[in-house]
Structure 1
Amino acid sequence: MGGNGKFHKWKIFYRPSPSKSDETHRREPPPKEFICPICECLMFDPVVVSSGETFDRLCVRVCRDLNFTPSLSDGSIPDFSTVIPNLAFKSTIVNWCSKSSAAPPQPPDYSSVERIVRGLMSRQGGAEEGKSRIRCTEMELIDAVAEMPDVNLSHAVTELAHRVNHFYSSSSEESVVMTTNPPTPLPLATRPACLSLSSASTSDEILNPNPNSEDEEFVAKFNSHDVYEQEQGVVALRKITRSDEHCRISLCTPRLLSALKPLLISRYVAVQANAVAVLVNLSLEKTNKIKIVRSGIVPPLIDVLKGGFSESQEHAAGALFSLSLEDDNKTVIGVLGALPPLLHSLRSESERTRQDSALALYHLSHILTNRLKLVKLGAIPTLLVMLQSGDLAGRVLLVLWNLANCAEGRSAMLDQNAVEVLVGMLRRNEFDSESIRENCVAALYALGHGSLRFKGLAKEAGAIEVLKEVEKGGSERAREKARRILLMLRGREDGEEGDRDGILELGGLSRTRHRVGGGVGKNATIANSTEF
């Protein structure tokens, strides 16, 4: 049979399977952000610290046990006083390991991490060991705050004049003149409402240090055990940072911020109020915003917003709003727990606190994780009640518009009859400005994307008749959005998706950078024109 040619001999070729070493060689290295800066391994239990960096929990614990604070590769010094689990980041690391066929991270050994940390201590030198300090937790500081004693400190308490009807806003991104009836949407406000054109104090006892001096004098006064010395220091710093941009930049050092931090929760009203006001002034400069958050000042700032003195709460809301303007700060501020007290502050008796809290929530809700947290906190019913009462309608609409741009927020708003509320506002036409009316139409438009349920609720609320009136008599942008919603309700949606540029254009804005008094783009000055 083998020689009749009817059968052929087949040669079978075997391709050798790749060895484990080859797979390892081809495997992509883990992203840099998954690696703990201290042990340089995949993080098993990632946590966010007060200064915003992420470490493995055991590494933070060992550093605290050894009273050691490492200097990171970028030269920054982390603050380990507050540790918050980062469950979302942990899940991301596990998912990456699964997709890339990498071994999942294993819990580190305490003794191994201790050897690594001690090696860092020896490499950074004895000078660093001398600088290492025993930290107390934020709760320990809060527990030490007693009620205000019967001490008259009025000689240094600063007085703020009645809020003027307008103020100027300027930053490196945009600038606008805010008036009683602003012609443009409110998110362009980049200055806290607690700022005033008037002098921060009328006291003759305020120090007037040389603006060009370094921070040693202030640090010495802040670290003093004499309350009067502390008070003189914060009032003087508040005064010079109110009007001097150069001082705001040069004095915002890690040493000064570290010394200022415990004064934020002082039990003396004059010290606490002026210390938080100093923080507002320093946060006006874009270059300072990330530096302040990384100094670990956000947790005590949140504590002031929760239970500080009335004036201090105004400044704390303003500081959180100012810091939230920086994109890199938004996630950190949300993780550190600012959203619940900001939401609660919308009911504050102080108008300034309410205004700045609403704007802080608007900027923080640009981040999806913060939107989801606000939905879980039950923010939507509170915001809709405020909208119906007319309190901060313009700012509340902006927050609701952000929430409507995620599926969870959209669903929750539909559950809470947001369509009926928004249509009712348009029907009554009781708006302080045309921009608020435009934002109301925009929020309604955002609710309608990809939702068959919206169509039924809108028709039931009588939206078609109301939107026809807007299409006839509204502004150009309101008419355009009303037309698109009507097309959507008639089943001819053009497929355009809501985006952040749309809301800016809707309110008469663009991403072109402007400044008050002329100048565009990089050449525009960013000097602050309103001082505190």
Structure 2
Amino acid sequence: MEIQRPINNLMVLHSQHDKTDTISRRQSLAGKSKWRISLSRSSSSSSSSSNNSPSKTEIPSEFLCPISGSLMADPIIVSSGHSYERACVIASKTLGFTPTPLFPNSPPDFSTVIPNLALKSAILSWCERRCFPPPKPLDYAAAEKLVFTLMEKTNRSNRKVSISEKELIQAIKDKPSVKLNHAATELDRRPNYFNSSSDESIASSSRTLQLTTRPSCFSSPSSAEIDSLEPNLTPEEEALLIKLKSNRISEIEEALISIRRVTRIDEASRINLCTTRLISTLKSLIVSRYTTVQVNVTAVLVNLSLEKSNKVKIVRSGIVPFLIDVLKCGSLEAQEHSAGAVFSLALEDENKTAIGVLGALEPLLHLIRVGTELTRHDSALALYHLSLVQSNRGKLVQLGAVQMLLNMAKLGQMIGRVLLILCNLASCSVSRDALLDSGGVECMVGILRGTSREVNESTRESCVVVLYGLSHDGGLRFKGLAMAANAVEELIKVERSGRERAKQKARRVLEVMRAKSEDSSPENEEIDWEELLNSGDVSTRSRFRLGGEDGEN
């Protein structure tokens, strides 16, 4: 104690001395230039503000929503190819507002939307590199108010007759100051991106919903697309959602099994239960590390997708990328259900392009060879329906699907379904060339030449349809390849004894091969196809008939 007192006295004296020095320095500085203090405060305030949120000039323009002017938290791609914040698109659709086109003669089309996961990942990476908090999804109420403001601004501008069209467009593009403030507040908000991305977060997601003023579909950045505000949940659905958000795996599994059972047998339940809140919850559960949870989630999605009215809604919800991940690395049973779900969703024409763009073709091509029997069959059927769209046919060619499918057909592996896919590929010029390059004509003729025990009538018909597609342009290249493979003999057999549709196609292919092209010489001659193919010259223009018949066209 005796030693402590002197030390305390020294500390007090030192503190008083420091205070005296500080006060004297402040007084001298204030006497010299008082205005510097206010400047310092202003700069420090602005610097602290800038530390919390980036200035608008720092943010890449492609990361900003054209409507809100703020960093996008939940970007989506609309049918016209533009990217917007989800809440802004929903508010615009609800209010019937079409924003100013980003490019001349390219108005945005909100009829179909797809989550832009690549852009979202880029925005999150950009924020992380610059130590900025990731943006939070925009409240629907705020988005609606923002769209109202834009609509009023547009109406006022339209009333000014003296303003030219160019000036009017520029006026609409100008963002009011409130948007800059909105961008700052969005970045200052506490991020909650990953509330529903793992099993551990299930218990906290319901609490987040209670704290928000936006519809429940915006509970996470991967929430489902909403065409209109949904009515309140039924007590049954509310009880299931509570169980699905439990932190006990047993309760989650029990709820999933209940939904799986009722949606398998009841059509009305499939319609009523396919809500945006339920799909959003399933989206968070499909990435579970528990195999049984993932299996049941994918099975529920298969059941929900059986209803035609649900197919587009499920794809728009943004859950397809999660199904694709299961196709790549899920359990065998989960892969079976995922392949079935993709196949079911691909039945809807509006979904075909979106599923192909999201990357489903490559894992389906892989599973058609190495998956379980059920997975292989559903993957093949999914590929058949997806290949009805020309853009997907081009992607399949780039993925090397033509040679792989021809090899499977030669080996008799799932030959019926494989030939259906090849029929679609033969109808497109890009994939048609790939089939000719990969020996498609020889392969089809070889299958037709097989014994009746090995090849049924459906298979023969599919082979003829493929050959008909390859002969569509009537070029000498197809004629030469067909003659070299002795296709005439097999086509004549089909024309005589095949099914009616196969007979018609075989007859048309034979007509193409019998067709004559004009030659510069006045006399007609039969082409020696073997010599022509060996020489590599397929540009000779001569007249010919099958069987050595002479005559005019």
TM range (shorter): 0.5 to 0.7
- Aligned-residue offset at 1:434: 1.9
Quick one: which of 219, 222, 236 aligns to 2:244? Answer: 222
Quick one: which of 232, 245, 256 aligns to 1:234? Answer: 256
**Residue matched to 2:486:** 462
Aligned residue identity for 2:500: E
Pairs within 5 Å for 1:24-423: 33=80, 38=88, 40-43=99-102, 52=114, 61=123, 65-69=134-138, 116=179, 134-136=192-194, 213-423=235-445
For 2:269 and 2:295, the matched residues in 1 are separated by 20
For 1:252 and 1:114, the matched residues in 2 are separated by 40
Q: Is the 8 A contact 1:261 1:297 kept in 2?
A: yes
For 1:346 and 1:463, the matched residues in 2 are separated by 29
Q: 1:47 to 1:348 in 2, by over 3 A?
A: farther
Give 3-state SS (helix, strand or coil) of 1:311's partner: helix
Q: 1:473 to 1:333 in 2, by over 3 A?
A: same
Q: TM-score, normalised by structure 2?
A: 0.57
Give 3-state SS (helix, strand or coil) of 1:440's partner: helix
CA-to-aligned-CA distance 1:272-293 (integer Å, 9 cap, x gap) = 1111100000000001001111
**Residue matched to 1:198:** none
Q: Is the 8 A contact 2:448 2:455 kept in 1?
A: no
Q: Is the 8 A contact 2:79 2:109 kept in 1?
A: no
- Aligned-residue offset at 1:221: 1.6
**Residue matched to 2:448:** 426
Q: Is the 8 A contact 1:35 1:41 kept in 2?
A: no
**Residue matched to 2:463:** 440
For 1:321 and 1:295, the matched residues in 2 are separated by 17
Aligned residue identity for 1:293: V
Aligned residue identity for 1:42: P
For 1:286 and 1:415, the matched residues in 2 are separated by 39
Q: Is the 8 A contact 2:135 2:191 kept in 1?
A: no
Structure number with bigger Rg = 2
Give 3-state SS (helix, strand or coil) of 2:114's partner: coil
Q: Which moved more, 1:482-491 or 1:265-274?
A: 265-274
Aligned residue identity for 2:476: L
- Aligned-residue offset at 1:470: 1.0
Give 3-state SS (helix, strand or coil) of 1:40's partner: coil
For 1:224 and 1:380, the matched residues in 2 are separated by 47
**Residue matched to 1:491:** 515
For 2:241 and 2:374, the matched residues in 1 are separated by 30
For 1:257 and 1:298, the matched residues in 2 are separated by 11
Pairs within 5 Å for 1:481-520: 481-491=505-515
For 1:55 and 1:43, the matched residues in 2 are separated by 21
Q: 1:488 to 1:117 in 2, by over 3 A?
A: farther
Q: Is the 8 A contact 2:79 2:113 kept in 1?
A: no
Q: Is the 8 A contact 2:80 2:109 kept in 1?
A: no
For 1:352 and 1:59, the matched residues in 2 are separated by 34
Q: 1:341 to 1:58 in 2, by over 3 A?
A: closer
Query: RCO (CA 8 Å, sep 6+): is it higher in 1 or 2?
Result: 1
Q: 1:310 to 1:53 in 2, by over 3 A?
A: closer
- Aligned-residue offset at 1:137: 11
User: Paired residues, what number?
Assistant: 358
Aligned residue identity for 2:137: F
Q: 1:357 to 1:47 in 2, by over 3 A?
A: farther
Q: Is the 8 A contact 2:83 2:116 kept in 1?
A: yes
Unpaired runs of 5+ in structure 1?
1-30, 76-101, 145-210, 494-532
Give 3-state SS (helix, strand or coil) of 2:353's partner: helix
Aligned residue identity for 1:440: C
**Residue matched to 1:449:** 472
Q: Is the 8 A contact 1:241 1:278 kept in 2?
A: yes
For 1:357 and 1:260, the matched residues in 2 are separated by 22
- Structure with greater helix share of residues: 2
For 1:262 and 1:58, the matched residues in 2 are separated by 17
Q: Is the 8 A contact 1:273 1:311 kept in 2?
A: yes
Q: 1:70 to 1:441 in 2, by over 3 A?
A: farther
How well do the aligned residues superpose, as a CA RMSD in angstroms? 4.3
Q: 1:334 to 1:472 in 2, by over 3 A?
A: same
- Aligned-residue offset at 1:117: 8.7
